[in-house]
Amino acid sequence: MTTTNRNLFYILLFFAMIGWGGSWVNAKILSNYINEFEMIFIRFGLTGLTMIPIIIYLKKSFKIDAKTLILVTLTSIVFLAYMKYYFLGTKLGTASLGGALVTSLAPIITFVILVVLRMKSIRKIDMFALVLGAFGVLTMLNVWTLGSSEIFVIHNLYFILASILWPIVTILSAQSKQISPIVFTFYLYVVTVLLDTIFFIDFSSIAVESFDTLFWVNIFTLVIFASTFSNTVYFLGIEKLGTTEVSSFIFLVPFAAIGLSALFLDEEIGIAMILGAIMTLFAVKIINNIRIFNKK
């Protein structure tokens, strides 16, 4: 890949991470209009439709075997639960805390699960990283100054549940070897929407008359920018640059969520949240051997 193309991908990845971070702000605003299952239906139904021409353009096959379809279904069940707690936590809590806590804690929990399943070995420095990550999470939750009644609130529980469920989605998705990751994601969205429609959606309760310009702007941003664009750039980035190099951009997501929450939602961002996010992300860097600055 030429230097020009590589730099272009860096720019695209930067905006993709901003999109992922901004999705927490979008979810917070949309929670004033729809519930978690309605959000899942609208977001991933529309995202699935927008992914079709992209998959065709990339010349990826839509063919899926029975084994992969079963894996997609299992992943969709967990993904549906993740999206529920992601949305409820954001609705009841703050987008900044959710974006910082979940996106930085989930990779650490993923590592722990892989170690328990003996799919990954653990080094002494990893133990240090886990302790550092734990302190980072506790700092983000501000346990050093708050009482137990303020710490063990329902939205914090939702965020922690989301942080546990996302690694399961990641590990299950990684088991798919027969189809392209972007095609797997497409089917993940399709099956999630089908399950959501069959078991949870009551279309008569959707207050369509309340959908104003603010609603549609956030839906558009969430679907086109945070989902279709960001996912496509991320998967292409892995193909063109490699997983290790693309992983370094993930560090932008929590800080994008924090910054955009302060800008658009007027959320108060404390030093504890920023410090805790830095500690947790540094732990992620250690356990995943991520190099933020690559030598030429």
pLDDT of 52: 97
For 75, 250, 254, the CA distances from 15, given in Å and listed in that order, are: 27, 11, 13
Distance separating alpha carbons of residues 287 and 28, to the nearest angstrom: 31
pLDDT at 242 over 80: no
**pLDDT tens sequence across 165-201:** 999 999 999 898 889 999 999 999 999 999 999 999 9
pLDDT of 287: 85
Domain span holding position 71 = 3-287
Question: What mean pLDDT do residues 45-73 have?
Answer: 96
DSSP sequence for 73-138:
HHHHHHHHHHHHHHHHHHHHS-HHHHHHHHHHHHHHHHHHHHHHTTSS---HHHHHHHHHHHHHHH
pLDDT of 290: 62
- Domain annotation covers residue 136: yes
- Domain annotation covers residue 292: no
- Domain annotation covers residue 293: no
pLDDT at 296 over 50: no
Q: What is the average pLDDT value for the chain, to the nearest integer?
A: 91
- Domain annotation covers residue 295: no
Contact 64, 72 (CB under 8 A): yes
Contact 60, 123 (CB under 8 A): no
Among 42-56, 114-128, 266-280, the range of highest mean pLDDT:
42-56
- Domain annotation covers residue 241: yes
- Domain annotation covers residue 53: yes
Distance separating alpha carbons of residues 93 and 155, to the nearest angstrom: 5
Distance separating alpha carbons of residues 175 and 3, to the nearest angstrom: 33
More confident residue, 238 or 217: 217
Amino acid at 290: I
pLDDT at 204 over 50: yes
Number of compact structural domains in the chain: 1
pLDDT of 67: 95
pLDDT of 1: 58
pLDDT of 291: 57
Of the pLDDT bands very low, low, confident and very high (cuts 50, 70, 90), residue 129 is: very high
Give 272's contacts (C-beta < 8 A, 6+ positions apart): 139, 140, 142, 144, 145
Stretch (H or E) spanning 200? none
Q: Is 289 exposed, middle or buried (0-12, 13-18, 19+ CB in 10 A)?
A: exposed
Largest CA distance in the chain: 58
Give the predicted TM-score (pTM) of the model.
0.91
pLDDT of 243: 72
Stretch (H or E) spanning 180? none
pLDDT at 44 over 90: yes
The lowest-confidence range among 28-32, 80-84, 99-103, 141-145 is 141-145
- Domain annotation covers residue 282: yes
Q: Is 141 helix (H, G, I), strand (E, B) or coil?
A: coil
For 4, 17, 29, 183, 187, the CA distances from 232, given in Å and listed in that order, are: 19, 12, 24, 10, 14
- Domain annotation covers residue 152: yes
Closest residue by Cα to residue 113 from 86, 78, 150, 148: 78
